[in-house]
Amino acid sequence: MGDPRVLTTQGAKDAIRAIENIINHGLTQQIQSLDSQGKKLSDPNVWDGPLATQFRTSTWPETHSALNKAKTELEDLKRELSKISTDIMTAGGGH
């Protein structure tokens, strides 16, 4: 069998840069903003009542955990894309 195909097009490079830009300059900040607002709503001195308590004890902890997981996975994706891109360029697929 021959060597595995190694290819990276300008479209791939542009897509990788776009994903990195979205993660670095938009999505991560939006996740942090959501987290900040959720923390405010979790304070009974800011928002209280039966539904606010449900939010504070159930909804928000689950959402907070999901936001943290999403942020971690996005950072992992960014690192993985960067590594793959570098490996392909090193292997000669940048032509």
Check the CA dihedral 80-17-75-58 and report its sign: negative
Say how far apart CA 6 and CA 8 lie, in whole Å.
7
Return the domain boundaries, the chain.
31-82
| DSSP state at residue 41 | H
Q: Taking residues 9-29, what's their average pLDDT? A: 88
Q: What pLDDT, on the 0 to 100 scale, is given for residue 92? A: 63
Backbone angles phi, psi at 89, to 5 degrees: -65, -40
Residue located via tokens 């300059």: 25
Per-position DSSP letters for 5-31, written without gaps between them: P----HHHHHHHHHHHHHIIIIIHHHH
Q: How far is CA 63 from the centre of its chain?
A: 15
Q: Taking residues 20-29, what's their average pLDDT? A: 88
pTM above 0.85, yes or no: no
Q: What pLDDT, on the 0 to 100 scale, is given for residue 2? A: 67
More reliable by pLDDT, 40 or 95: 40
Q: Taking residues 4-25, what's their average pLDDT? A: 85
pLDDT in tens, 32-72: 999 999 999 999 999 999 999 999 999 999 999 999 999 99
